Homo-oligomer: A and B are copies of this chain.
Amino acid sequence: MGANIKLKPKLIQSIDRALQILESFSNEEKELGVTEIANRLDLHKSTVHGILTTLEYRGYIKKNVKTGKYQLGLKLLELGNLVHDSMDLISLAKPYLQELVNKHQETVHLVVYDRGEVIYIDKIEGKGAIKIMSRIGKRNPVHCTGVGKCLLAFREDHEIEMILKQDLKKYTVNTITDSEKLKEQILEIRKNGYAFDMEEIELGLRCIAAPIRDHRRKVVAAISLSGPSMRMDQERMQNLVTDVKKAADMISRNLGYIDMHF
């Protein structure tokens, strides 16, 4: 669970269960039955039924009358859109991300940092046949993604130390699990203003990432351009750095960031 060291606070059981039910749905499992959910969360089906009734009444769940199963409701589309619209960052960054995609035909991500993890808040796919497995709202660790290392590099020292102290889970042979080595790279990233991910979370996946700063010069987000290793040799990656950094800088400027170099 990343650097989320927070202890589980006193939760309201029924609400917590309701939220867990919502999260049981996924792109692979768009429809779930009562007993299916009950087994998964180890609850009684009558309990699940009651929760579903409440969720359905408010539009968070919809029952498919044909199959009798349940699926996520349109209320979530509404609330999701509300969140989307409140994030100025997304709409502001969109044109620059689109430009990157158009020019290089690789998938681009926009992410923010949240409690020791990275959250994808926008994504534009390249035309390439190879799709990157990612999803808006998805969380990933910081130590093995380009954007993650970018965001980590500009956090406060004590927070970095905290992450480094924790167990750096190994995802591939390239994942950096040695905290000393990661620290070195963080210093590099700070100096250069960009990061690479050399198949550190998934074999065959490489990316270039760069940080986004707001008007207070604080790093608040990061973008990345990812592609399959076969298209991402060292030389091309080095060439892409300029464009990725430029896009990130343009977004920063739109957030009120003023470059002090002159």
- Residues of A that sit less than 8 Å from B by CB: 8-12, 14-16, 18-20, 22-23, 25-27, 30, 50-51, 53-55, 57-58, 60, 71-87, 112, 114, 119, 121, 135-138
Contacts and interface: CB of A to CB of B under 8 A. Distances in A.
B58 A16 contact: yes
| 3 nearest A-B residue pairs (beta carbon) | A80-B80, A78-B137, A81-B136
B14 A82 contact: no
18 contacts: A9-B57, A15-B51, A15-B54, A15-B55, A16-B54, A16-B58, A19-B55, A23-B79, A25-B79, A25-B82, A26-B82, A74-B121, A76-B76, A77-B80, A77-B136, A78-B80, A79-B137, A80-B83
A11 B54 contact: yes
Copies in the assembly, this chain: 2
Given A15-B18, A16-B54, A57-B8, A27 B82 contact: yes
A72 B78 contact: no
Contacts of A86: 27, 30, 71-72
Nearest to A18: B15
Nearest to A112: B74
Contact of A14 (B15, B55, B112, B119): B15
Contacts of A77: 80, 83-84, 87, 121, 136-137
Contacts of A78: 80, 135-138
A51 B83 contact: no
Given A53-B9, A55-B15, A57-B11, A84 B80 contact: yes
A6 to B, nearest CB: 8
Contacts of A83: 72-74, 76-77, 80
Given A25-B82, A83-B80, A86-B27, A137 B12 contact: no
A25 B137 CA distance: 20
A113 to B, nearest CB: 11
Given A8-B57, A9-B53, A79 B72 contact: yes
Contacts of A15: 14-15, 18, 51, 54-55
A80 B71 contact: no
